[in-house]
Structure 1
Amino acid sequence: MNDVFGMDARVLRESLRKSQANCDQMVAIYGSLDRRLSALDSTIRPAVVHTDAIGKVSRNIDLALKSADVFLRHFTRIREAEVIIQKGPHEDLQAYLTTIDQLRSLDTSKTFRDDPHVTSHIRILLSEAVLKLEEEFKRLLSAHRENHAPALELTLRNLGFEYKEEIERWPLESLEAIIGTWLYTMRIAVKSLFIGEKQVCRKIFYGIDSLAELCFATAIENSVQLLLSFGYTMVKREWPPEKLFILLDMYKAIHELQSEVEELLAEEACREMRDRASNMILQFARTARISIDEFKKNINEDANNFNILDAPVHPLTSYVINYFGLLGSEYCSTLHLLFDENDSGRQPNRHLVTVMMMILNTLVSNLERKSKKFNEPALSHLFLMNNINHVVNKLRRSSAEDLIDSDWVPRHRKIVQQNANQYLRVAWMPILQTLKIQTGSEGGSAAGSGSGSGISRSAIRERFRAFNSQFEELIQRQSHWTVPDPELRENLRLLVAEAVLPAYGNFIKRNGFFVEGSRNQERFLKFRPEDVQQMIDNLFQGGVSLQPNT
């Protein structure tokens, strides 16, 4: 066993020796290789450095070539733009405009920033391009105006409208038909004709809004001028109140078109036309208000003669209230526009109500002055009663009542009744005094009293004669007086009958025996109560016989 281990030790030592030898040999080989690689690196390194330098030069050349290519391409675009600009915009407007945009882009680019000669050339080309563009646009606008403006004017004439300066001197009666045609033409022009022209201009200058606007303004200018000139001629005229309704029709029609006109002429190129159109509407409103003020003035100054032997509804009353009613029924909304458009607050209609109230109150004041011209006080009250009643009834039956204060009609109905009572007092109270007999015992008086009590037959007969005389005279004097309104007429008759018949009947009942059975009974008891009733029932019809039936 020891021999075996001895052999193994020897073998192991031999192997270690050989491994050490091999290791020393490899170290020697690697040392030699390292020396060779160092020598090789010294040899190759200059070549590598030279190759890197060549790469950098190549990259610089590439960059320079790319810059040159950009420069050449821009320069080529400049040359091409120069050719297009020389030809002008009339051949291809879109290409011409694109070229201008490209030149502007080149003018602001970095490519030619350090080359003043190229930059100057670009700017010269731009100036020339803009100048030619302006000339072309002027040519296009002129051509469009020459073709379209006369066509628009011809269309207006075909619609029946043609403005002539001599229209300013025509009487208003001759203008009514032309006014209707003008309003019709205005509607067609605003709602159709001018809108179509605007669309045409936008197609011609598609995408160039400012030029499309200028084209449109140029094309319609003459036509708009003709239409507005007629309107301004109308507002400069003096409009008497009887023609106010025509003026209100014009104002209403153009006011309804106002928003469409403002939208149609919204662009800056149309500003002057838009301002003139807006001002024309304001002038129409002003002229209408002046005409209404003139109407009120005419009412106040009316001094037409009238029949002072009767008290019917005065022509002024009929005219004013019919006029007033027409304003309220047909032109109420227009009047609100005229007076209250700019009003604000809790009572936006107050201005209009104030104006209408002034008209009515001016009429009543004039009627009061007219009533003082009657010689008969009773007729004066009858006149006021008839006329104010006519006004009240007309207002109650029309929408014009909405244009006045709510208490105006009730207040003036009371005034009607007050004048009826005043008529009764002035006209009939004196005759009732003949039926009152002074009683000696009491020192008082009572209608129909005093049957006996020391009153003489002759005194009673004198009372009968006084009543007969005054009654006949009163009936004769009032035979032509009228109360046109049937309801008021019946009420007034009833008022008279209720005052006269009881007093007369009572007087006959108490004192008739003084004259009954005498030879001259008819001289004293001339009218029976039913005769008085019949004659009162025939009052206020004008021209009807008031004598009792036999």
Structure 2
Amino acid sequence: MRTIFSKSPSPPTHHHTFTESLIEENIEAAELSITKWDSLHGDDHVSYCNIASVFSENNRDEAKQYLSSIKGLQKAMRYLASLESTSDKLVRAQTLMQTAMKRLEREFYQILKSNRNYLDPESVSNHSSSRPSVSRSSFSDSEEDESENDSIPEVERGSSAVIADLRAIAEAMISAGYAKECFKIYRTIRKSIVDEALYNLGVERNLGFQQIQKMEWETLEVKIKYWLNAVKGAVKTVFYGERLLCDQVFAISSSIRESCFTDVSKEGALALFGFPENVAKCKKTPEKMFRILDLYEAVSDLWPEIESIFSFESTSTVRSTAVNSLIRLSDAVRTMLTDFEMAIQKHSSKTTVPGGGIHPLTRYVMNYISFLADYSGVLSDIVADWPLQISSPLPESYFGSPDKEESISSPISVRLAWLILVMLCKLDGKAEMYKDVALSYLFLANNLQYVVNKVRQSNLKLLLGDNWVTKHEQKVRKYAANYERMGWSKVFASLPENPTAEIPVDQVIEHFRKFNSAFEEAYKKQTSWVVTDPKLRDEIKLSLARRIGPIYKEFFDKYGGVQLMKEMWAESLVRYTPDDLGNYCSDLLFGSGSSGSISSSSSQGGGYSR
């Protein structure tokens, strides 16, 4: 008998059956949810903003279910595709997915368009800086503790919820292969919002070099002011907020996140940071210096944010534009500093200042340099690697190499001290134009005192230091002493060395005559001379009074009131009492410009009319 062996029947593939069952359930659940919402607005021509939103406040549970059904549908499609099936189930799933994606496109558009109050850059940047929880993975994971929610401002809660919805939709669309459609909607809407925000800040988009170059300085300065007012808000609010929004909405894809931010922000950023570069390329004149420094300071201060916000490779041109602006502005400042120095050296006016007062060059240069001192921070960056080139020898007494005891050590301090020195040397030459040597010293004292005062009253004091101030104050005193010596030498010489010594009458008469002549000559000349600084003026007068007054009083007391008054010519000889001298001297150095006439006082106490 033949034994027949047959294969035992295979056990049923329960796993396969179970999977197919799940797939079927996923498709059916997706169909139920997707067709329900699609039936509300099945017409493709219905406006995106007029649909009933799955993501409205009243439909939070259904929105979660909708997104969940899409995820289930994706799993079903992947499984069916893995079988290389062309079954009706796969076609059905694909059709449902297309319908769902079209719905999400509309939802994405509507949320972006109708929630601008929650998605403006300021709102996004404000709530994102204080609410890191916004960057959760999806809509379905964004539940928050109710008590925590209560402490969050309404705008922040709204913004957080809207961003979570957008992020959930973006994740669903990108996962389903609809990244291009999602990206297109986002770019279209957000770019218009960013452009509008920049426009409202005052950023001009189409302002090229040719236009800027043709502008009058007054017009360009106004535009610079607008730009300075706009740039901080543009960087710290508009671009920062947009970068945060892109990072959160498209957290699922770094490439899409980069592309979206670049497309939305790059054009506006290039216009913003290209402006200072174009300004820097225009003609350089001294009056433009401080606006150029303002531009440099603004870009420099914002550079950490610029570098962070525009960190993508695709936004490298924005970073390079900002850097180029700094380079161009720095070069412009260096050029203007060089031109400023040359203008001082070439100043050729032969006109002397009446009375030895403050020269216009001194006022202009010191006001300019004191304003430069207000920008010492940015100037330090600009001149740090720009060594000072001394083109002509200058007196060592004015300027030497800084040593350990000197406070002038930083590049900007040295450069500003140098500019002051160039001006002081120019003033030395202008002092020589005065025919009267005493007046030339008074001119130098006046102008150097003005310089010292400007340094003391500005940030220059912090840069140049106390040693510099002390050194130059000593020079002022030296000039003042030289003025006294040269301007009053004949008066000093006319008085006897020992005013109380017994001397012959003819010598007494000679001393009085010489004194009268010398004093009147000095007074007549010096009534139109001026010392502008009240403290210095008082110091000079006090010094003169101490050198002339006591000696004259002793001589007057010994001879003016006893012997000579008995003579017929005494009244014409002894013209001034000691008090008269004090009165006359007190009115000197105000630059009154009077004729210098002196009325005889006589021994009866007459004085010059006040």
Instruction: Provide the TM-score with structure 1 as the length reference.
Output: 0.68
Matched residue, 1:471: 519
Deviation at 1:537, TM superposition (A): 1.7
Note if contact 1:460-1:511 (Cα within 8 Å) is conserved in structure 2: yes
Deviation at 1:369, TM superposition (A): 1.9
Q: Which moved more, 1:137-146 or 1:426-435?
A: 137-146
Matched residue, 2:207: 164
Deviation at 1:85, TM superposition (A): 13
Question: Residue 529 of structure 2: which of 463, 471, 481 is its match?
Answer: 481
How far, CA to CA, are the matches of 2:457 and 2:383 in structure 1? 24
How far, CA to CA, are the matches of 1:543 and 1:413 in structure 2? 26
Deviation at 1:308, TM superposition (A): 4.4
Deviation at 1:433, TM superposition (A): 2.1
How far, CA to CA, are the matches of 1:227 and 1:244 in structure 2? 20
Say if 1:351 and 1:308 are closer, same or farther in 2 by CA, change over 3 A. Answer: closer
Paired amino acid for 1:164: L
How far, CA to CA, are the matches of 1:469 and 1:406 in structure 2? 44
Matched residue, 1:155: 197
How far, CA to CA, are the matches of 1:196 and 1:315 in structure 2? 51
Matches within 5 A, 1:127-138: none
Note if contact 1:90-1:136 (Cα within 8 Å) is conserved in structure 2: no
Tell me whether 1:525 sits opposite 2:565 in the alignment: no
Deviation at 1:401, TM superposition (A): 0.5
Paired amino acid for 1:331: Y
Say if 1:521 and 1:174 are closer, same or farther in 2 by CA, change over 3 A. Answer: same
Task: Tell me the SS of whatever aligns to 1:516.
Answer: helix
Q: Which moved more, 1:506-515 or 1:383-392?
A: 506-515
- After superposition, give the CA deviation of every residue in 1:15-66 in whole Å (9 maximum; x if it has no partner): xxxxxxxxxxxxxxxxxxxxxxxxxxxxxxxx9xx99xx79x989x99xxx9
Q: Which moved more, 1:488-497 or 1:357-366?
A: 357-366
How far, CA to CA, are the matches of 1:218 and 1:348 in structure 2? 50
Deviation at 1:426, TM superposition (A): 0.7
Tell me whether 1:429 sits opposite 2:489 in the alignment: yes
Matched residue, 1:258: 303
Matched residue, 1:267: 312
Deviation at 1:468, TM superposition (A): 1.6
Question: Residue 298 of structure 1: which of 322, 343, 346 is its match?
Answer: 343
Say if 1:92 and 1:286 are closer, same or farther in 2 by CA, change over 3 A. Answer: farther
Tell me whether 1:198 sits opposite 2:243 in the alignment: yes
Question: Residue 463 of structure 2: which of 383, 403, 408 is its match?
Answer: 403
Tell me whether 1:394 sits opposite 2:443 in the alignment: no
Say if 1:207 and 1:309 are closer, same or farther in 2 by CA, change over 3 A. Answer: closer
- After superposition, give the CA deviation of every residue in 1:331-362 in whole Å (9 maximum; x if it has no partner): 3444445455999xx99971221122112222
How far, CA to CA, are the matches of 1:376 and 1:486 in structure 2? 23
Task: Tell me the SS of whatever aligns to 2:591.
Answer: coil
Paired amino acid for 1:149: K
How far, CA to CA, are the matches of 2:583 and 2:516 in structure 1? 15
Say if 1:504 and 1:90 are closer, same or farther in 2 by CA, change over 3 A. Answer: farther
Task: Tell me the SS of whatever aligns to 1:519.
Answer: coil
Deviation at 1:482, TM superposition (A): 1.0
Task: Tell me the SS of whatever aligns to 1:276.
Answer: helix
Instruction: Provide the TM-score with structure 2 as the length reference.
Output: 0.62
How far, CA to CA, are the matches of 1:473 and 1:90 in structure 2? 109
Paired amino acid for 2:434: F
How far, CA to CA, are the matches of 1:426 and 1:243 in structure 2? 44
How far, CA to CA, are the matches of 1:393 and 1:449 in structure 2? 43
Say if 1:178 and 1:406 are closer, same or farther in 2 by CA, change over 3 A. Answer: same
Deviation at 1:498, TM superposition (A): 1.6
Matches within 5 A, 1:5-404: 76-79=82-85, 145-162=187-204, 163-165=206-208, 166-202=211-247, 205-328=250-373, 330-339=374-383, 350-404=410-464
Say if 1:85 and 1:362 are closer, same or farther in 2 by CA, change over 3 A. Answer: farther
Say if 1:339 and 1:155 are closer, same or farther in 2 by CA, change over 3 A. Answer: same
Q: Which moved more, 1:258-267 or 1:172-181?
A: 172-181
Note if contact 2:350-2:430 (Cα within 8 Å) is conserved in structure 1: no
Say if 1:366 and 1:341 are closer, same or farther in 2 by CA, change over 3 A. Answer: closer
Note if contact 2:352-2:430 (Cα within 8 Å) is conserved in structure 1: no
- Unaligned 5+ segments in structure 2 are 16-78, 103-174, 388-403, 600-606
Deviation at 1:417, TM superposition (A): 1.0
Note if contact 2:408-2:414 (Cα within 8 Å) is conserved in structure 1: no
Say if 1:92 and 1:433 are closer, same or farther in 2 by CA, change over 3 A. Answer: same
Matches within 5 A, 1:441-480: 446=497, 448=499, 451-452=502-503, 457=506, 460-480=508-528
- Unaligned 5+ segments in structure 1 are 1-46, 67-72, 95-132, 437-445
Note if contact 1:235-1:284 (Cα within 8 Å) is conserved in structure 2: yes
How far, CA to CA, are the matches of 2:431 and 2:548 in structure 1? 26
Q: Which moved more, 1:470-479 or 1:252-261?
A: 252-261
Note if contact 2:408-2:463 (Cα within 8 Å) is conserved in structure 1: no
Matched residue, 1:540: 589
How far, CA to CA, are the matches of 1:174 and 1:238 in structure 2? 14
Q: Which moved more, 1:536-545 or 1:382-391?
A: 536-545
Q: Which has the larger radius of gyration?
A: 1
Note if contact 1:432-1:447 (Cα within 8 Å) is conserved in structure 2: no
Paired amino acid for 1:195: Y
How far, CA to CA, are the matches of 2:408 and 2:487 in structure 1? 47
Say if 1:83 and 1:255 are closer, same or farther in 2 by CA, change over 3 A. Answer: farther
Say if 1:80 and 1:311 are closer, same or farther in 2 by CA, change over 3 A. Answer: farther
Task: Tell me the SS of whatever aligns to 2:483.
Answer: helix
Task: Tell me the SS of whatever aligns to 2:357.
Answer: coil
| Number of aligned positions between the proteins | 443
Task: Tell me the SS of whatever aligns to 2:527.
Answer: coil
Say if 1:75 and 1:463 are closer, same or farther in 2 by CA, change over 3 A. Answer: closer
How far, CA to CA, are the matches of 1:199 and 1:494 in structure 2? 71
Deviation at 1:210, TM superposition (A): 1.2
More helix by share: 1
Task: Tell me the SS of whatever aligns to 2:488.
Answer: helix
- Measured on the aligned residues, the alpha-carbon RMSD in Å equals 4.3
Deviation at 1:520, TM superposition (A): 2.1
How far, CA to CA, are the matches of 2:273 and 2:433 in structure 1? 50
Paired amino acid for 1:540: L
Percent of residue pairs identical: 26
How far, CA to CA, are the matches of 2:386 and 2:438 in structure 1? 48
Say if 1:193 and 1:517 are closer, same or farther in 2 by CA, change over 3 A. Answer: same
Matched residue, 1:496: 544
Q: Which moved more, 1:417-426 or 1:359-368?
A: 359-368
Deviation at 1:75, TM superposition (A): 8.3
Task: Tell me the SS of whatever aligns to 1:408.
Answer: helix
Deviation at 1:254, TM superposition (A): 2.1
